[in-house]
Structure 1
């Protein structure tokens, strides 16, 4: 019975995230995780910035401890929920915890806001500064000298990549946790896996880079994120065409997306960007500035259109449709497993 309640809480948390997003009156887990990561990493960089070995193993300790603490907290709440007679307080913690793991409303709202600013307002210096500030909040690259065309591409690439990290990755691992708990309450559950994945993606977004100190400090974080995002990114690859307008080109689009995506250093980011690029008919990739270094990413869908506000809104619609499809699939799988056990 507890796993059915967990599944209902899971569905409710998805709806809450879509309608409300992250409540301002609650401290978001990412804020706590980020504070912990920053404090330790700043200490390592300030005191051992020239020692590659200490940075390397320090990064390992940061990764394992962050994930371990997140997992343990989630598991503790799950056990209290299962063993409680009323389930109310534990269920409430799980509800808000799961909702915080999913970032659909926050991600879509921030990118749509950028698209609308570009479309509706005259692009003068003041408006351009405002757009740059909003783009800089969602990307790690330096957009201080970017054109509007590059700002739109940066926003689109962030949206397509982070749709996996912020939406479909958490959804996948939370559902796996619900299935696990059908077999034993001591196995990893939805909140422990959801918070663990959130910790993994936060680690990668904060220190998982390949320049300066982060090349060593963030090595383990980047590799762990690659492993845990591998399956969700490929599920997005094979399911996104089902909610697009090019379902009749299903196999060719998947092949093209996979081949273009494989050109990226990341085994996952390129694939998620590529499938959205081909379904929405846009071109991604090219030069971007990170710190003082210009990095040129491989071109995805070379014959596609340039990014625009209209295309960003289309991608947001695709994300919502795909999320709905995944929920339907999860429900079918859950009740299928329930009938077999």
Structure 2
């Protein structure tokens, strides 16, 4: 059972991080986020049938959905912590992390792009020698799996920018935010193993994140129904996002720039409608030395995002890979820092 490792819950988190990097998300195994998605769909149908188009009812229903899903996910995590053998608990913890899956998805875009670029050189249409519209299709299709923007007409530089932006934003949402709450839970568990621990907090966060991704849109009924989940996700990501911006210079081997880079990320990201997305992208932009941001299309509608690290070069494939490497290094920095803090706390107690 889990008892032998309860005295060192941080080891469980470290093992989960290693398993995530080694295996990722096996497609044959039902993922907890998929289960959360099923419940959100079911609860949304009931909420919309009850509330109709009345804003106050949709707001109330959205709050209840958030309470049920986040509370239920946290409770499920706590039960698993108390009843599950250690190996399965490590697997459950790893399911809350998306380090490898994000990296693989971004690398698939980059790996498709060189072949597409060669196709651009070799293929032209019959009207004036312009590049064929299908030449970049493999990279566009790979990108469409991981971004919300329209990808059908993106050229190579825009594909690279989109890959860089999703590598930076989703590193916070998919890796560092759940890892932060996992570490908080490990700290709570070290004080009292009967309390909700790393899995309870991580699954609770993933529920809020899934709510935001499925309902957090400012259109139609979702403008009200998704408000509670979106605001809770913003709140839970706020601190991890800023810790990422503070720690990236350490991962980049520039410890003297920690506070100046944090200030730059906060300044550049302030114009973004999201309190976290712009900051996370700006932090990676400054750390990798590239400019991000600009105009994107979502559902055919043009949206202008603020320029981040303005004046630096546009991202190329090497810069995107560097961002992925920075995430791997920063994950180790976080685990090492948590181990040091745990040691100091144990020594002083």
**For residue 29 of structure 1, what is the aligned residue in structure 2?**
32
Task: Determine whether 1:95 maps to 2:98.
Answer: no
Identify which of 80, 90, 104 aligns with 2:99. 104
The answer on whether the counterparts of 2:246 and 2:259 sit within 8 Å (CA) in structure 1 is no
Does residue 52 (structure 1) correspond to residue 60 (structure 2)? The answer is no
Q: 1:182-197 maps to which residues of 2 (within 5 A)?
A: 182-197=190-205
Query: Residues 330 and 248 from structure 1, CA distance in 2 versus in 1: closer, same or farther, beyond 3 angstroms?
Result: closer
| Alpha-carbon distance in structure 2 between the residues aligned to 1:206 and 1:127 | 32
Q: Distance in 1 between matches of 2:334 and 2:190?
A: 20
Distance in structure 1 (CA, Å) of the matches to 2:186 and 2:292: 36
State yes or no: 1:240 paired with 2:248.
Answer: yes
Match of 1:209 among 197, 208, 217: 217
With normalisation by structure 2, the TM-score equals: 0.89
1:138 counterpart SS class: coil
* Preserved contact between residue 73 and residue 203 of structure 2 (Cα < 8 Å): yes
Structure 2 distance, partners of 1:181, 1:251, is 31
Superposition RMSD on alpha carbons, in Å?
A: 2.0
Alignment of 1:11 with 2:9, yes or no, is: no
The Cα shift of 1:93 comes to 2.9
The structural deviation recorded for 1:147 is 2.4
| Contact 1:97/1:191 (8 A) holds in 2 | yes
Deviation, 1:254, is 2.5
- TM-score normalized with structure 1 length: 0.91
Aligned equivalent of 2:138, options 122, 130, 140 = 130
- Unpaired runs of 5+ residues, structure 2, are 121-132
* 1:70 CA displacement: 0.5
Match of 1:113 in 2: 108
Deviation at 1:123, TM superposition (A): 4.0
Unaligned runs of 5+ in 1: 81-88
Does 2:271 match 1:263? yes
Higher-Rg structure is: 2
Deviations, residues 143-187 of structure 1 (Å, cap 9, x unaligned): 223222222222211111111111111111111111111222343
Note if contact 2:212-2:229 (Cα within 8 Å) is conserved in structure 1: yes
